[in-house]
Amino acid sequence: MAGHSHWAQIKHKKAKVDAQRGKVFTKIIREITVAVREGGPSPETNPRLRTAIENARKVNMPSETIERAIKKGTGELGGDNYEEILYEGYAPSGVALMIITLTDNRNRTTSEIRHLLTKHGGNLGSSGCVSYLFDRVGVLEVPRENISEEEMYEKAIEAGVEDVEVGEISYTLYTKPEDLYSVKEALQSMGLPIEKAELAYKPNTLVQVLDVETAKKILKLLDALEDLDDVKEVIANFDIPKELMEEVSV
């Protein structure tokens, strides 16, 4: 199992928890709606929906709001027709970007993303231009509080985890996509709290960013992209050394 990598932690240095609660709700509602349309309205048989509902409850979304989003997905209630679109492109220094969106207007979303990439020194690429630099994986997060690294590794191996990254406040665990929910249940049966469980893209190669100005440009671009209502998530293949991160304030 691999040791420490900053990528998973840097990626959400933005866990400024998206300060605007309304923006968080909007993104989760869209995710629930798309999840229902793709896999049906039952969380028991639709893992993507189960994860979306768990995320909704973590931010205290009212049950009636969750139910309304599910009904929009089934077509019981009218509403915007969202689709998931993956954009690929580059940040400064050749850093690869995978930008996952949920949108009801492809032209608007493409225009907004292209504008931000250009403004911040990046560019939008064609489909397939960077996807080979990422692997599809299951990702779980476990708080570091009350569990040592040795114990975490032991339980991870027993549960079928493929890789572990040790962050400052949490462990990031990686599984095969098809094993995500069985591993999650195994870890929970061992008494471990799971903060996040989702399918994601993980870089299979990292670009080392070694100067402050470039690091600032990349992080500002990620913040700007993630602030767009249509953007669900941004994944990038860069690594900033811990000592350099301390100099970077976005």
pLDDT per residue as tens digits for the range 53-73: 988 998 899 999 999 999 999
Q: Is 48 exposed, middle or buried (0-12, 13-18, 19+ CB in 10 A)?
A: middle
Instruction: List, in sequence order, every residue forming a beta bridge with 83; answer none if it has no partner.
Output: 103
pLDDT in tens, 180-206: 989 999 999 999 999 888 888 999 999
Average pLDDT for 66-82: 87
Name the residue type at position 13. Answer: K
pLDDT confidence tier of residue 249, bands split at 50, 70 and 90: low
- Spatial distance between the Cα atoms of 225 and 127, rounded to a whole number of angstroms: 18
The reply to whether 82-132+205-245 and 134-203 are identical in fold is yes
Secondary element (H or E) of residue 203: strand 196-203
Q: Is residue 236 over pLDDT 90?
A: yes
Annotation: CATH topology of 82-132+205-245: Alpha-Beta Plaits (3.30.70)
Q: What's the pLDDT at 38?
A: 87
Q: Where are the domains of the chain?
A: 21-74, 82-132+205-245, 134-203
Could you say which architecture CATH assigns to the domain 134-203? 2-Layer Sandwich (3.30)
Question: Tokens at residue 48, please?
Answer: 């993507």
Q: What's the pLDDT at 21?
A: 65
pLDDT in tens, 112-152: 999 999 999 999 999 999 999 999 999 999 999 889 999 99
pTM of the shown model? 0.80
The answer to whether residues 96 and 133 touch, using CB atoms and an 8 Å cutoff, is: yes
**Closest CA relative to residue 243, chosen from 205, 210, 208, 203:** 210
Q: Is residue 235 over pLDDT 90?
A: yes
From residue 166, how far is each of 4, 10, 122 by CA, in Å?
5, 13, 30
- Bridge pairing between strands 207-208 and 163-166: unpaired
Mean pLDDT computed over every residue of the chain: 88
What percentage of residues in the chain have a pLDDT greater than 90? 68
- Spatial distance between the Cα atoms of 31 and 52, rounded to a whole number of angstroms: 6
Q: Which CATH number fits domain 21-74: 3.40.50.300, 3.90.1150.10, 1.10.443.10, 1.10.10.200?
A: 1.10.10.200
